[in-house]
Structure 1
C-alpha cells in the first residue's frame, strides 16, 4: 500500500532524506520482520521496542526503515535528536574529531572539547553565579552524580523526589522513579533513603503553586526532616510522568525552602533541556534557578553525553578523583555537543520550538473541541502532550484512558507517524519532535491523529 503527502519545508537546510511520510509496505515490513527474528535469538527480551521497524537512515524529522517506509518522527529518540536527525554541523564536528582524538580519558590526559562544553553549560544554565560541570555518559549517571555531590556537600543522607517522576534505570534511579513497572519490577532491593513527595499536577489536583508547594514541603518536613535531607530532585516539566507542567511559583517556592534549609535543589533537565521547550532549559519558564542542573539526551545530537552543572562551591565538594568515568566527556561526543549549542544559536532553534508549540497546540485545541476523550493539553515548546480520559464520565472523574492511547499509537504507526505514550497510567500521548519538524508535517500528523480519534468511536 502507499500513503504519501507532500510536505516540503518552506525554508530548510538540504536534507538527505525527503521530508515526507511514505508507507510502501505493511508495518512492520518484511525486512523488518526478518531482522526481528534475528534479534529474538540474540537480544535480551527485556530490551523491548515500541514499534519493531528497523531504521536504516534518518535525517531532519524523518526515519526510513529497511523496507523503504518513511516515518514522521514525533519521538526524536525520546528527545535526543532535538536539532534534527543527522544534523549536518553535528555530523561534521563528530567526523572531524574522529580524525584527531577519539579517546584519552579526561581524568588522565585532558582535552579542550571537555572544557568548552563545560563553558557552554556554565553560560546557558540558569543562574548568574560561578558554575562548574562534570561530564558523564547518560541521564541516569547524571542523576547518580548529582545526588552523590549533594550528599557530599551537605553531609546528609536523604534524597527527595516528586510523584510521577522518572529518573532512570540504575539502582538508585529505579528507587527514585514513581512508577515501578516496567522499570523496577523484580530488580530489587533498591537504594534506601529515597522519599517520594507529592508534586504539582494542576489538571488533577487543582492547586495553585503556593498550595502545591505547601503540600510538598509539609511532606518533606514531617516524613523526611529538613536536617536529614541532602537534595530534592525535580523535573521542571515531567517527562515519562506525562509532561506535567507545574503551577506557577511551585518550583521557586520549593527552591526558597531548600535554600533556607541548606537542601540542594536539583533540576532534572534530561528530557526538557537543550532548547526543547523554547528556552535552553525549561527551568527558565518558571523563573527557577536550581542549585544543580542535569543535562543529557539532546545535548550531543545523538551521541552519548550527559552533565551535572551547578554552583561551583557545591560541585567542588567532591574530592579529587571522586568524579569521572572511563567514557564520560568523550572527545567525539563533546565535539558534537559544541556543534549542538552552535546550531541552536545559528538556526534560531529556540524560536523554532515556539513555532512548533503554536502550530501543534492550535491543532490539538481544534481536536479537543470535537473529541471529549482529550482531557488536557499541556507542555511547552516541542514538548507537548494530551491526556486522554474516558469519554462520557463526569468532569471530576477524569478516569485515565490508556486503551485510547495505545490504539492511536498503533493507528498512526500504520500510516507513517511515530507517536509516543507516557504517563503514570499510560494515558498520555506525547509529542516530542525534533526542532526540524515543519508546520506541514505537524498538520499532516494532526490529520492522522484526527482519523485515529474518530476511529476510537
Structure 2
C-alpha cells in the first residue's frame, strides 16, 4: 500500500482533523513493526496500542498504515499545545540550526535563563523564586526532594496513597502502586513514608479538611514534623486514577507544612500547563507550594522538566549540587518558550475548560443510567471515569480494559489508569477540534454500551 505523505507547512504536518480507518487496527505495517520491536526492544517497555505513529497534529495521530486516530491521550498529557505546534516546530528548527547542546553547566545560554524566568513568573505565588531545569518528571521530583532535604537538614519525606511520582529508585519509593511500577525493583530509598489522601468517591464522604487532619495526625504520630523535610502531592493524583482531593485537603496540608517548617512540594508534572483549566492545578484552591515540579506539557513534546520554588529553599543547595549533562537542553528550552507563549496567548486554559465540560457532561449523563460508572471526576481537560461492579461498588478493571480496547479498534486513543486499573482517563490535546472530541467520546460510549457487564468480568 502506498501512503501519501502529509502536506507539510512551516509548522509541521497539516493533517486532516478526522478519524479515518483504512485498515484494521493494527494494520499490516504496524504488525510488522511490532514484530521488529519484540526482537529489538526490551520486553519491559510495553505499549498501550499496537500501532506505530508516523505523524500527529491537532487532535489526530496518523499511523504507518494511513489510519487517522482520534487522540484522547496527548502522549500522556504532553502535547497540550497540540503535536507539532507551528511555533514549537519553528523554534526547535531555529535553535537546532544554531546549536543542539553545549551543557548549561559548561557554557550556559540564554534559553535556559529565559525558561527559568518564565516559570518563576507563571507558577503560583508572588515571592522571590528560582528554577532549575532537568530532563523528566521523575528527575524533577528527585531534585525537589534533594532541595528540601538540603534546606531543612531533615531526612523524611511523605507521599500519599495512590501517588505516582516516577520510575527511578527514589520516585518508585514515593509511588504507591506496586505493579507495574515497583514490583521486583527494590530495595527502595529509605526515609519515605506514606499517608492517606482524600479520595471522595471511596472515603465515605469525609471532608477535605477532616481527611487532611487525619493524615496529619498519622504523620505527627509515626514520623514527627521535626524529622520531616517535605510532603509531596499531585494536586490531582494522576496515575492513581485522577483523584481530586476534596476541597480543603490541599490548603490544610499546605498550612500545616508552613507552620511546621516542612517543605510543601506540588508535583504538577501531569496537571501543569493549562491541563486543568488553570495554568497550574494548585490555583483552583489558591494553594502556593514551596516547590513545584513540572514536565510533560512544558515543551510541546520535547524532553524538559523543572523545579521552581522559593528562592531561599532553592538556593540552599551548594554550587554544583544540582544539574545534569542534558538538563535544560537548548532545543528543549526553545520549544518550552514557544509552548509557554501558546499557553498564555492561545486561550488554552479556556479550551481545557470547554473540553472538560463536554467530557464530564457526556459521561455524567451516561452515569445516570449506567450503574457501572461509579464516578466521573477531574478538572479541565483531565477527566476520568471510574468503573465499578454495580452490586458491590468494587473496582471493575476488566470493564475498563475492554472498553478501552474496543475504542482502540475503532481508532480512538484512550488510556486507562488507577490504583485498581478500573479508570479510563481523558487527556486530549487542548487544540483538538471539538467535533472530533465529541466523535471520540461517542465511540467510547458505544464501546461501553456494547460491553455487557457479564462479559466484562
Indicate whether 1:455 and 2:416 are aligned: no
Indicate whether 1:425 and 2:420 are aligned: yes
Report the alpha carbon displacement of residue 367 of structure 1 after superposing the two structures with TM. Answer: 1.4
| Aligned equivalents of 2:249, 2:37: Cα separation in 1 | 46
Report the alpha carbon displacement of residue 286 of structure 1 after superposing the two structures with TM. Answer: 1.4
Please name the residue that 1:385 is paired with.
Answer: 384
Counterparts of residues 400-419 of structure 1 (less than 5 Å)? 400-419=395-414
| Aligned equivalents of 1:96, 1:450: Cα separation in 2 | 43
Please name the residue that 2:67 is paired with.
Answer: 69
| Aligned equivalents of 2:26, 2:441: Cα separation in 1 | 22
SS of the equivalent of 2:240 reads coil
SS of the equivalent of 1:44 reads coil
RMSD: 1.1
Report the alpha carbon displacement of residue 390 of structure 1 after superposing the two structures with TM. Answer: 0.6
| Aligned equivalents of 1:32, 1:199: Cα separation in 2 | 41
CA contact (8 A) 1:388 1:405 kept: yes
| Aligned equivalents of 1:159, 1:399: Cα separation in 2 | 31
Q: Decide which of 49, 55, 58 is 1:57's aligned counterpart.
A: 55
CA contact (8 A) 1:371 1:453 kept: no
Counterparts of residues 236-247 of structure 1 (less than 5 Å)? 236-247=235-246
| Aligned equivalents of 2:60, 2:405: Cα separation in 1 | 18
Report the alpha carbon displacement of residue 14 of structure 1 after superposing the two structures with TM. Answer: 9.7
Report the alpha carbon displacement of residue 125 of structure 1 after superposing the two structures with TM. Answer: 0.5
Please name the residue that 1:179 is paired with.
Answer: 177
Report the alpha carbon displacement of residue 364 of structure 1 after superposing the two structures with TM. Answer: 1.2
Q: Decide which of 158, 161, 167 is 2:159's aligned counterpart.
A: 161
SS of the equivalent of 2:88 reads helix
| Aligned equivalents of 2:284, 2:232: Cα separation in 1 | 18
* Greater Cα offset, 62-71 or 444-453: 444-453
Report the alpha carbon displacement of residue 315 of structure 1 after superposing the two structures with TM. Answer: 0.0
Alpha-carbon distance change, 74 to 281 in structure 1, aligned in 2, over 3 angstroms: same
CA contact (8 A) 1:107 1:324 kept: yes
1:116-175 CA deviation, whole Å, 9 max, x = no partner? 100110111001100000000000000000000000000000010010000000000111
CA contact (8 A) 2:58 2:433 kept: no
TM-score scaled by length of structure 2: 0.95
| Aligned equivalents of 1:334, 1:300: Cα separation in 2 | 7
Please name the residue that 1:118 is paired with.
Answer: 116
Alpha-carbon distance change, 14 to 324 in structure 1, aligned in 2, over 3 angstroms: closer
| Aligned equivalents of 1:124, 1:63: Cα separation in 2 | 30
| Aligned equivalents of 1:360, 1:376: Cα separation in 2 | 13
Indicate whether 1:363 and 2:362 are aligned: yes
SS of the equivalent of 2:244 reads coil
Report the alpha carbon displacement of residue 15 of structure 1 after superposing the two structures with TM. Answer: 6.3
Indicate whether 1:94 and 2:86 are aligned: no
CA contact (8 A) 1:15 1:60 kept: no
1:2-26 CA deviation, whole Å, 9 max, x = no partner? xxxxxxxxxxx99611111111111
Please name the residue that 1:19 is paired with.
Answer: 17
Please name the residue that 2:5 is paired with.
Answer: none
Query: How many residue pairs were aligned?
Result: 441
Alpha-carbon distance change, 447 to 379 in structure 1, aligned in 2, over 3 angstroms: same
Report the alpha carbon displacement of residue 213 of structure 1 after superposing the two structures with TM. Answer: 0.5
Please name the residue that 1:296 is paired with.
Answer: 295
SS of the equivalent of 1:22 reads coil
| Aligned equivalents of 1:450, 1:92: Cα separation in 2 | 38
Please name the residue that 2:3 is paired with.
Answer: none
Report the alpha carbon displacement of residue 219 of structure 1 after superposing the two structures with TM. Answer: 1.2
Indicate whether 1:33 and 2:31 are aligned: yes
Q: Decide which of 428, 432, 435 is 2:430's aligned counterpart.
A: 435
1:32-67 CA deviation, whole Å, 9 max, x = no partner? 010111111110000011111010111111001111
Report the alpha carbon displacement of residue 370 of structure 1 after superposing the two structures with TM. Answer: 2.4
SS of the equivalent of 1:452 reads helix
Report the alpha carbon displacement of residue 346 of structure 1 after superposing the two structures with TM. Answer: 2.1
| Aligned equivalents of 1:117, 1:203: Cα separation in 2 | 38
Report the alpha carbon displacement of residue 109 of structure 1 after superposing the two structures with TM. Answer: 1.0
CA contact (8 A) 1:136 1:306 kept: yes
Report the alpha carbon displacement of residue 184 of structure 1 after superposing the two structures with TM. Answer: 1.1
| Aligned equivalents of 1:133, 1:159: Cα separation in 2 | 21
Indicate whether 1:321 and 2:316 are aligned: no
Report the alpha carbon displacement of residue 359 of structure 1 after superposing the two structures with TM. Answer: 1.3
Unaligned runs of 5+ in 2: 1-10, 453-457
Indicate whether 1:309 and 2:308 are aligned: yes
Q: Decide which of 143, 147, 151 is 2:141's aligned counterpart.
A: 143
1:290-339 CA deviation, whole Å, 9 max, x = no partner? 00000000000000000000000000000000000000000000000000
CA contact (8 A) 1:159 1:231 kept: yes
| Aligned equivalents of 2:441, 2:116: Cα separation in 1 | 39
Unaligned runs of 5+ in 1: 1-12
SS of the equivalent of 1:265 reads strand
